[in-house]
Amino acid sequence: MTVSLNRRSLLQISATGLAAAQKAATAESEQATARAPVRGSAKSCIFIWLGGGASQIDMWDPKVQGDPKQGHKKPGSAYASIPTAIQGVQVCQHLKAMADRLDRGCLIRSVNHDVIDEHAAAVNRMHIGRAPTGTTVYPSIGSVVSHELGQDDSQVPSYVVMGYPSATRGPGFLGARHNYIYLIDTESGPAGLQRPADVTLDRLVRRQKLMQKVRQDYRQKYSGFRAVEDYVDAGLKGDALAGPLFASVFDLASESPDLRTAYGTEFGQRCLLARRLVESGVKFVEVAFNLNFINGTGWDTHNDGQLNQHVLIQELDKSLAALLDDLETRKLLDSTLVVVATEFGRPPEFDGGGGRGHQSAAFSVPLFGGGLKYGSVIGLTDEFGRKVVEAPVSVADLHATIYAALGIDPSKELYDGDRPVPITDHGTPISSLFGV
């Protein structure tokens, strides 16, 4: 059979084919864009930890004011709220300094997980990003950042913890090389890295030369044994950290008295040290706020702990504002992601002692700096902050967002031996914070 085509038919067929080709190309381009990971420009992270479970409705997500008094027990926020630098957004009245600086960050009000009654398990969830299993010891978020951004030849550690040393903050299957350096004293640094007074510099050099030969022989004899490799690597790293660069970071007295006063007391000085640490090249610093003596319970505000919770909030407000101002003055805010995290939030109801219980179905985590899209609020909770009603953010999503802000591909796989392990528990970064 012979088919004849006139000029019009030929043009119609050509146009249809071209449109189909363009549509296919567009679809392929959109799929490629969707697959392309969002990447931020931050180089380090300061992870401020409010251990105990800070109340979201008494801080970052205020609701109608309640009343804890006996005979009233009206659910709601413990304090009045005030406007912020983000139009239409309010925070607790005791966050006055941060209210003026909220446009330097983004407020996530819809973080949630399913661990309610057990503090340790909730702390583990927020640091590891997933539920534990019997087959894999997962690394903490700080250890993952060390693995991805740390440099073997650095004279400062990749990962520092000022607060609570625990397996929850450990390296898991990534090994000792990506464990944390634990700090207690903010002015002298780790005692184990200081040269004893009776060991002269010449004597130290002779020791190091001898140790170098021992390490080489030991590594060669036990090649392939992970524990041996970790032990040798930890010793080498310790030698590097014992040098003058890391020691100089702890010279807080070199800062101006006005700046140290602006930061505040113990917690504030930890924040100041955190700034000095990231400035020196440390990639991840956890700073715990553990002034439990102020209200007897810290952020775990059961019973009477609620009475002086405002003092904790005021301390956080002062020190966090000073940290952001200091980073901004030094042009480090865009390259430093500041996260204010806790293991869970608190319900709107008051308990028999006037405090609050635990709540993990909805709580807040603010992020500041890090080159993210400033001045935004993610998520919405119901009228009392009991549950998320819009844009829920899982812990895996939060971790994916932090990794992406640091330029780490949140879809990457790590390896536990030969076993591939996703870097997050299928988390997705909050794309709007990257302008996507």
Quote the tokens at residue 24. Answer: 């296919």
**For the ranges 171-180, 204-213, 394-403, 424-433, which has the lowest average pLDDT?**
204-213
Q: Is the dihedral of CA 294, 274, 131, 61 positive or negative?
A: positive
Whether the pLDDT of residue 2 is over 70: the answer is: no
Percent of the chain, pLDDT > 90?
A: 63
Which residues neighbour 56 within 8 Å (Cβ) at sequence distance 6 or greater?
Answer: 109, 345, 346, 362, 363, 364, 381, 385
Top-confidence residue, 60 or 40: 60
Higher-pLDDT residue of 208 and 144 is: 144
**Across 76-80, 174-178, 221-225, which has the greatest mean pLDDT?**
76-80
Q: Where do runs of H (alpha helix) occur along 186-225?
A: 201-221
Which residue did the predictor score with more confidence, 199 or 56?
56
Token code pair at residue 91:
């925070």
DSSP H or E segment with residue 19: helix 7-35
Is pLDDT above 60 for 28? no
Q: Which has more confidence, 193 or 262?
A: 262
**Ordered alpha helix ranges (H), 242-356:** 244-248, 257-263, 266-280, 309-329
pLDDT at residue number 1? 45
- Predicted confidence (pLDDT) per residue in 62-79, tens digit: 999 998 886 678 999 999
pLDDT tens readout for residues 225-248: 667 777 776 666 666 676 677 888
pTM score above 0.75: yes
pLDDT of residue 105: 95
Range in 40-44, 262-266, 289-293, 388-392 with the lowest mean pLDDT:
289-293
pLDDT confidence band for 263 (50 / 70 / 90): very high
Q: Which residues contact 343 (CB under 8 A, 6 or more apart)?
A: 51, 52, 53, 115, 119, 122, 123, 125, 126
Give the mean model confidence (pLDDT) for residues 394-420. 96
Residues 93-112 pLDDT 10s: 999 999 999 999 999 999 99
pLDDT of 47 > 90? The answer is yes
d(CA 220, CA 308): 58
Cβ neighbour number for residue 436 with a 10 Å cutoff: 12
pLDDT of residue 178: 93
The strand ranges marked E within 87-194 are: 90-92, 105-112, 159-162, 181-182
Q: What is the mean pLDDT of residues 371-397?
A: 96
Instruction: Annotate 58-68 with b (16+ C-beta within 10 A) or e (fewer).
Output: bbbbbbeebeb
Handedness of CA 295, 125, 76, 368 (dihedral sign): positive
pLDDT at 10: 46
In angstroms, how far is CA 16 from the centroid of its own chain? 52
Confidence tier at 30 by pLDDT (50, 70, 90): very low
Q: What is the pLDDT of residue 14?
A: 52
**SS3 of residue 156 by DSSP:** coil
Contact 285, 182 (CB under 8 A): no
Rounded Cα distance, 91 and 89, in Å: 7
* The pLDDT value given to residue 112: 98
Residue that is written with structure tokens 């978020």 in the block: 141
Among residues 108, 169, 180, 160, the alpha carbon closest in space to that of 363 is found at 108
| pLDDT averaged over every residue in the chain | 87
Is the pLDDT at 81 greater than 80? The verdict is yes
Print burial letters for 385-424: b (CB count within 10 Å at least 16), e (below 16): bbebeeebbbbbbbbbbbbbbbebebbeebeeeeeebbbb
pLDDT at 256: 97
Report d(CA 405, CA 426) in Å as an integer.
17
Confidence grade of residue 9 (pLDDT, cut at 50, 70, 90): low
pLDDT bin (cut points 50, 70, 90) of residue 216 is confident
Give residue 17's pLDDT band: very low, low, confident or very high (50, 70, 90). Answer: low
pLDDT at 238: 65
Q: Helices (DSSP H) in 65-161: which residue ranges?
A: 96-101, 119-128, 141-149
pLDDT of residue 29: 40
